[in-house]
Each structure stands twice: as structure tokens, then as C-alpha cells.
Amino acid sequence: MQNKSIAQMAAELRLRTYSSVELTRHYLERIARLDPRLNSFISVASESALAAAERADRAIASGDAGPLAGIPIAHKDIFCTAGIKTSCGSRMLDNFVAPYDATVVERLAAAGAVVLGKTNMDEFAMGSSNETSFYGPVHNPWDADRVPGGSSGGSAAAVAARLCAAATGTDTGGSIRQPAALCGITGIKPTYGRCSRWGMIAFASSLDQAGVLARSAADAACLLDEMAGFDPRDSTSADVAVPDYVDALDDDIAGLRIGLPKEYFGEGLDPRVAASVQDAIKEYERLGAKVKEISLPNSPLSVPVYYVVAPAECSSNLARFDGVRYGHRCENPKDLEDLYKRSRAEGFGAEVQRRIMIGTYVLSAGYYDAYYLKAQQIRQLIAADFARAFEEVDVIMGPTAPTTAFPLGAKMDDPVAMYLNDIYTIATNLAGLPGMSIPVEPVEGLPVGLQIIGNAFQEARLLNVAHRFQHVTHWHQGAPSGFE
């Protein structure tokens, strides 16, 4: 049952082959049985899930069911959910139940989706391995000793292990695409402004974007169709028409112009990963695409730029966590400063504190120009590289991550080494562009992701390009052993 596509599930639910309650129970049973190996969920909401499933079954029976009626999904624990704890992977919010739903949560609920629970993540989405979570690391379903990637590591592992039909995620520097690659699933980070950020706990406001982790581009399209669109509550939400992503999946891609940035195939890329990615690109050529080498000369600077911009924004975004109105508050503060400092030091883990400090430093008097302003200028150059490239190609392809999943603990003592994991994904966030990762041929049993980058608001094209590949290959169908 858990290997069916969302379209198939939706059809069978409508045919009453099984009910949403049965489907939901099936997933809840899998979570109870299998998740102890993965730790991919922070909260499992059995009761509310079954209630939602019952509602979906009734809606289906009465013929007014939404497109995702009865489909069990999971939300990254960064999306506020009224009634279910929203921790953001942090001790700071271990006691936080939001008084509202995020727009993305609201829209998926309105489409009839059933929420099984909230998935584990790097604390406040800061990490590339899901090891910074207050709730412990998530294990990669393909090899429990390895990381699932991050920060949407819980969503990626849960989808790969078939503990939910699909899951939401957020991507600030690669947090959907990199874990999707490392867990062998499909992930899409839409254009900045495509999905509302309302109710999505902010890490870096000019980079954060909600997206989907799913087992296929077709499944991702089903969710994105519901999630995407203008939201008056988010000033940075784009008022741009949303095409039907499912409708566009089967469009012909003959003549597709693919650009391969030479900077994405250089030093630091595991040659086995490179080979796997090149094979996938050959498959595209067989599908009629034309490939050319391009250059994104400033892209190597995306990691340094990101580690100024993202911490700067996060240092300000996370200032609201002060122990006064919600969240963790230290015991017996002796004065106001003690309340602030201990509540925050106890509530935030080491990586979050590192980034807050870096961000505080780069914005402080005397350093703003050299760091923040300089980074914003290079960000402009990086965006200009993409703009130039998209004058001559339709999509850009390359590896999602330089290596396959690395062992748990391998990079925890070296933040900079950890940061370099996102070297191929960060530039798209800086430029606000959509990106995807789809599974290609694994290396020694470990998944590899092909990244597909599009121009702004070209999600339909990306999903179509990914779907045509998945139509002729089977890499996306592989299930990790023990989770089939």
C-alpha cells in the first residue's frame, strides 16, 4: 500500500478500495513499528490524524472531497500547527503549541490531506545532517549509521522509509534537496515567494522557502498544486498565477536545453557521484535534450555569502525567543539580563548559537560593510550568473550534494566541512530560484541526487523534466531494505 503513488491512492480512496482511516492506520502502524530505527518523527498525531481521515472518508462519500482527501502526509516541525506541538527541533520550543496553522498546513488540510505528525529536523533548520536536533539525530533508512541530510532530514527519511505518502520541508540553503538526495527521494524547493512563509518559523527570511519531499515528481506535483499561491499574510508572497503542475508533467522535453555548470563538476565532487550524475544526463540526451557546458563563475562564493546572509537574518529572527511570551524560560532568573541569557543559552543548541553569534558579529558596528553589504553585492553577481545562463538554457543540472550520505558524527566537530555540503544548492536560494533533486543511480547502495535548477516560477518545467526521467528510469522506486 505504501508504495503506491499519491494519484493511485487518491483514485483507490475514491473507489473505496480502502478507506482513509485504513490507510492512515497503516501508516501509523508503520511509524510505530519502524520509526524507532530512524527517529524521523518528533510528534505523531494519531488521534487528530484518524479524525481527519474520518472526515476525509465522509467527504469522499459525499462527493465533495478535496484533491488530497485522505492522503496521509507529514509536516516538517518548522510549520506551525494548531493543536500539535511545533518545536522546530529545539529545546526552546519543546513546550510550544502554536495558536495557528501555517498557510501551507492550512492549504494542505483544505485539500483533505491527513497529517500523521511532525518530522524531525536540524534545530531551527540549521544543519545539513539532522544532527543538531534537540530530539536526537535522524538515521538514514539506507544505512542507519549515516545521516539523512538536513535540515529536512526527518521528512526525507520518513518519505524514503514509506512512513508517509509525502512530507513538507523547507529549504534555506539546500534543506529539501540535499536530504532528498541523501535519502533517495524527490524534493522540490520552489521559487522564493511561491509558497507562503506565514506560520513557517523563520530561519533566514530572504532565503527560506517551503517545498515538498516525495517519492516522485508526480507526487510532489500533487502537493505543490495545493501549497503554492499568493497569500496576503506574507508580504514576500508572489502574486503570480500558479499553473497546474500535474497537468504539465507529461509535456514533451525533446529539445530541452540543459546547462551543466563547469563549477559544479570540479574539485570536491566525489567522482562516483559525478559519474552517476553524468549517466543521468546521458539519459536526458536520449530523451531529446541538448546539453551544453555553462559557467556560473561566482557560484563558488555562494557558501561564504550564505554564511554571512543567513546568520545575519537568523540572529535577528531568533531574537524573539527570549523566555517572555512563549518557549523556554530559565529557572529563577535573577534579573532581566539573566532571564534572556540563560533562557537563550539553555534553549538553543551549539550550532544555533554559533550562527546567532556570527550573524550578530557581521551586522555589528564597523563590520556591516565588509561583511553584510559585501555579501549582498556578491549575491547580486551570483543572481546575475543565473540570469545570463538562462538566456541560453532552459534548466541547469548538476549534482545535488558532493558526496553520498556521510556517517553520523563525521562532520559534527567541523562546522565549515559541514557547510560545504551545500556548495551546489546554496546559490539557488541566494538567487531565489527553484531547484529539485531526483534520485539517480546509487553509489555502493547509497542514493545520489541529480539537481535540476530552473528560472524563477518554472516549477512546472522542473517537475515535468523530473517526471520524464522518472518515466523511463526506476531509481526513484527503490526502497531501502527493511522499509519496502
Partner 1 sequence: MSLDASDIEKIAHLARLEIAPESIERYAADLSNILDLVAQMDAVDTTGVEPMAHPLHMSQRLRPDRVSEHDRRELFQAIAPLTEDGLYLVPKVID
Partner 2 sequence: MQWETVIGLEIHTQLATQSKIFSGAATAFGAPPNTQACAIDLGLPGVLPVLNAEAVRLAVRFGKAIGAAVAPRSVFARKNYFYPDLPKGYQISQYELPIVGEGRVEIVLGDGAVKSIGVTRAHLEEDAGKSLHEENLAGGGYTGIDLNRAGTPLLEIVSEPDMRTPQEAVAYARKIHQLVRWIGISDGNMQEGSFRVDANVSVRPLGQTRFGTRTEIKNLNSFRFIERAIQFEVERQIDVIEGGGTIVQETRLYDPERDETRPMRSKEEANDYRYFPDPDLLPVELDVAFIVDAVADLPELPDSMRERFHTQYGLGEYDASLLTTGRELAQYFEAVVQATAEPKLAANWVNGELAAALNRSEIEIAQSPVSAAMLAGLIHRIQDGTVSGKLAKQVFEAMWSGEGDADSVIQARGLRQITDSGELEALIAAIVAANPGQVEQYRAGKDKVFGFFVGQVMKESKGKANPQQVNEILMRVLASD
Site for partner 1, rule CB under 8 A: 95-97, 99, 192-193, 206-207, 232, 235-236, 238-239, 298, 300-301, 303-305, 307-308, 315, 319, 322-327, 329, 333-342, 344-345, 348, 353-354, 356-358, 360-362, 364, 371, 373-381, 383, 415-416, 419, 430-433
Counting contacts by CB under 8 A, is residue 209 touching partner 2?
A: no
197's contact among partner 1, partner 2, none, with CB below 5 to 8 A by partner kind, is partner 2
354's contact among partner 1, partner 2, none, with CB below 5 to 8 A by partner kind, is partner 1
Provide the 3-class DSSP secondary structure of residue 412: coil
Measured in degrees and rounded to the nearest 5, phi and psi for residue 355 equal: -70, -35
> Is 151 designated active site?
yes
What are the distances in angstroms from CA 10 to CA 97, 244, 466?
31, 17, 21
Per-position DSSP letters for 22-69, written without gaps between them? HHHHHHHHHHHHHHHHH--EEEE-HHHHHHHHHHHHHHHHHT---TTT
Q: How many C-beta atoms surround the C-beta of residue 71 within 10 A?
A: 28
Question: What's the closest the beta carbon of residue 96 comes to partner 2, in angstroms?
Answer: 7
State the pairing for strand pair 72-76/114-119: parallel
Give the residue with the Cβ less far from partner 2, 363 or 443.
363
Give the residue with the Cβ less far from partner 1, 204 or 223.
204
What are the distances in angstroms from CA 112 to CA 29, 52, 67, 478?
21, 8, 7, 28
Cell of 376: 549582498
323's contact among partner 1, partner 2, none, with CB below 5 to 8 A by partner kind, is partner 1
238's contact among partner 1, partner 2, none, with CB below 5 to 8 A by partner kind, is partner 1
Rg (CA), the chain: 21
Choose, by CB under 8 A, the member of 42, 44, 52, 93 that binds partner 2: 93
- d(CA 245, CA 145) in angstroms, rounded, equals 36
> Is 76 designated active site?
yes
- If DSSP states are collapsed to H, E and C, what string results for 301-365? HHHHHHHHHHHHHHHHHHHHCCCCCCCCCCCCCCCHHHHHHHHHHHHCCHHHHHHHHHHHHHHCC
Q: How many C-beta atoms surround the C-beta of residue 170 within 10 A?
A: 27
Stretch that binds partner 2, among 147-155, 218-226, 318-326, 459-467 (CB under 8 A): 318-326
Question: What's the closest the beta carbon of residue 395 comes to partner 1, in angstroms?
Answer: 18
Give the residue with the Cβ less far from partner 2, 46 or 360.
360
Residues that bind partner 2 (CB under 8 A): 79-80, 86, 88, 93, 96, 98-100, 102, 197-202, 204-206, 232-236, 312-313, 315-316, 318-322, 324-326, 336, 340, 360, 363-365, 368, 372
Q: Which residues are part of the catalytic machinery?
A: 76, 151, 175
